[in-house]
């Protein structure tokens, strides 16, 4: 999972990209990169505030940026990447995974192509260069029509900036008016945070061009829309103040929590949400059950998300979460979280809550069990890493050390999305029903 950003006709674009990427930091914490007009780049491993420093400031009114959580290619390679072609110089960054990248890379190399990185992003460079058009906009349309998924993409060309989503709309992308220009971001909350107006979602199968000769964005359809938005964006990755398809992430998570109680009706003394993405679901569970919601786990926000860290997850969990002994002591605790992927995080949390004096620990998950890998941009590409794919629910309960473990059903999960008006979602990691 990654976060991407762009600016067009925006003063001090470097500073604006800094603020946008900072608002998208939860989507990637391994590296940060920006390219400003003139194709001047600032890149480095680490967080936004470590890389995009005042001393690295680059003047310019347009640019693109990226925060990375690696799912394909070397962890040390940093987007955006820049290429020099007969159709002009351009830089590109994307969020997602090209699902058949290995086969496409092999085809390009067999036909004389040379790759300078291991990133699947570089495929956009080769297809753009080889497209049977002289015009760069037509070349980009041809490129994206040949690569089915999964990507949201920003491209900086000498004559335009482009924002695009694949025909399935698996990964999110938005743009909004900012002064006399426009800003692009993976989530609308990042645009709202800097005061953008008229925020719009880039539709699946479309490219939005921003260029000097068109005062308004030019929207071009390159493929027929077949929406399969990643429902895990709603469940886990997105900020709770974000919206997809006009639907609040926070409100949908609450509805999932309410549905979880309707299906299971597990009772206890208190409900505790696992920070941060489990908290909205815990609010829903508390509302539906009447059990008081309390602040039982405190998160240190200066430690990154354990799911997207490459190693030492158990130690990270202990450093980033602290139990409130006065809240937990002697209570039957219902822990609500968004998901269990590998199981290591939840086991540590259950142990911590027990150590804080809980009488019982019940774990409720406001999504179905993750049983399938994701090749669309999540770090769950190997099924044997997924604890729910290898164990039955009772075995899972024992492995995490809970007194009870209960998931939202796949049918109930889909029903909540339908009731909220979110149509066309990908649930492959829950039911192995993949759109591609």
The pLDDT tens digits for 193-246 are 999 999 999 999 999 999 988 889 999 999 999 999 999 999 999 999 999 999
Kindly state the average pLDDT of the residues 399-426.
Answer: 95
Could you tell me which residues come within 8 angstroms of residue 191 by beta carbon, excluding any fewer than 6 positions away? Answer: 20, 174, 175, 176, 178, 183, 185, 199
Between residues 195 and 69, which one has the greater pLDDT? Answer: 195
2 is catalytic: yes
pLDDT score of 70 more than 80: no
Average pLDDT, the chain: 92
Under the banding of pLDDT at 50, 70 and 90, the label for residue 1 is confident
pLDDT tens, position by position, 129-168: 999 999 999 999 999 999 998 999 999 999 999 999 999 9
**Dist. CA 75–CA 24, nearest whole Å:** 19
Under the banding of pLDDT at 50, 70 and 90, the label for residue 304 is low
**Dist. CA 59–CA 40, nearest whole Å:** 9
**Dist. CA 92–CA 369, nearest whole Å:** 35
pLDDT score of 300 more than 60: yes
Among residues 2, 196, 374, 426, the one annotated as catalytic is 2
pLDDT value, residue 310? 43
Q: Are residues 196 and 221 in contact, defined by beta-carbon separation less than 8 angstroms? A: no
- % pLDDT > 70, the chain: 95
DSSP letter, residue 385? G
For the whole model, what pTM was predicted?
0.93
* Domains of the chain from N-terminus onward: 3-227 (3.60.20.10), 249-423 (3.40.50.2020)
Q: Are residues 87 and 132 in contact, defined by beta-carbon separation less than 8 angstroms? A: no
Q: Which residue has the tokens 């420093």?
A: 53
Could you tell me which residues come within 8 angstroms of residue 384 by beta carbon, excluding any fewer than 6 positions away? Answer: 390
pLDDT value, residue 165? 98
């Amino acid at each position: 999972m990654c976060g991407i950003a762009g600016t067009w006709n925006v003063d001090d674009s470097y500073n604006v990209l800094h603020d946008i990427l900072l608002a998208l930091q939860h989507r990637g914490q391994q590296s940060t990169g920006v390219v400003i007009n003139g194709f001047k780049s600032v890149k480095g491993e680490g967080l936004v505030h470590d890389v995009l420093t005042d001393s690295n400031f680059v003047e310019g009114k347009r640019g693109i940026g990226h925060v990375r959580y690696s799912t394909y290619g070397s962890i040390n390679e940093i987007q955006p990447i820049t290429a020099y072609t007969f159709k002009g110089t351009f830089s590109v960054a994307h969020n997602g995974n090209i699902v058949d990248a290995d086969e496409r890379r092999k085809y390009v190399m067999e036909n004389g192509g040379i790759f300078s990185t291991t990133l699947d992003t570089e495929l956009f460079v080769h297809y753009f260069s080889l497209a049977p058009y002289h015009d760069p906009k037509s070349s980009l349309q041809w490129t994206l029509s040949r690569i089915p998924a999964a990507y949201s993409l920003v491209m900086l060309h000498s004559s335009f900036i482009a924002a695009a989503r694949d025909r399935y709309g698996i990964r999110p992308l938005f743009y909004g008016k900012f002064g006399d220009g426009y800003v692009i971001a993976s989530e609308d909350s990042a645009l709202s945070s800097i005061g953008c107006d008229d925020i719009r979602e880039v539709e699946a199968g479309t490219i939005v061009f921003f260029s000097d000769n068109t005062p308004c964005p030019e929207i071009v359809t390159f493929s027929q829309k077949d929406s399969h938005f990643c429902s895990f964006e709603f469940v886990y990755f997105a900020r709770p103040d974000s919206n997809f398809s006009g639907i609040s992430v926070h409100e949908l998570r609450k509805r999932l929590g309410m549905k979880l109680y309707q299906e299971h009706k597990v009772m206890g003394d208190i409900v505790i949400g696992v920070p941060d993405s489990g908290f909205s679901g815990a609010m829903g569970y508390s509302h539906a059950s009447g059990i008081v919601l309390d602040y039982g786990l405190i998160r240190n926000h200066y430690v990154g998300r354990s799911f997207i860290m490459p190693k030492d997850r158990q130690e990270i969990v202990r450093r980033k979460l602290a139990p409130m002994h006065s809240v937990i002591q002697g209570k039957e605790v219902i822990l609500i979280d968004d998901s269990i992927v590998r199981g290591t995080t939840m086991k540590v949390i259950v142990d911590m809550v027990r150590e804080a004096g809980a009488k019982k620990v019940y774990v409720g998950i406001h999504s179905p069990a993750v049983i399938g890998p994701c090749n669309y941009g999540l770090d769950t590409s190997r099924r044997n890493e997924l604890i729910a794919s290898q164990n039955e629910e009772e075995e899972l309960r024992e492995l995490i050390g809970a007194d009870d473990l209960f998931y939202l059903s796949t049918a109930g999960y889909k029903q909540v999305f339908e009731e909220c008006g979110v149509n066309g979602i990908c649930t492959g990691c829950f039911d192995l029903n993949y759109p591609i």
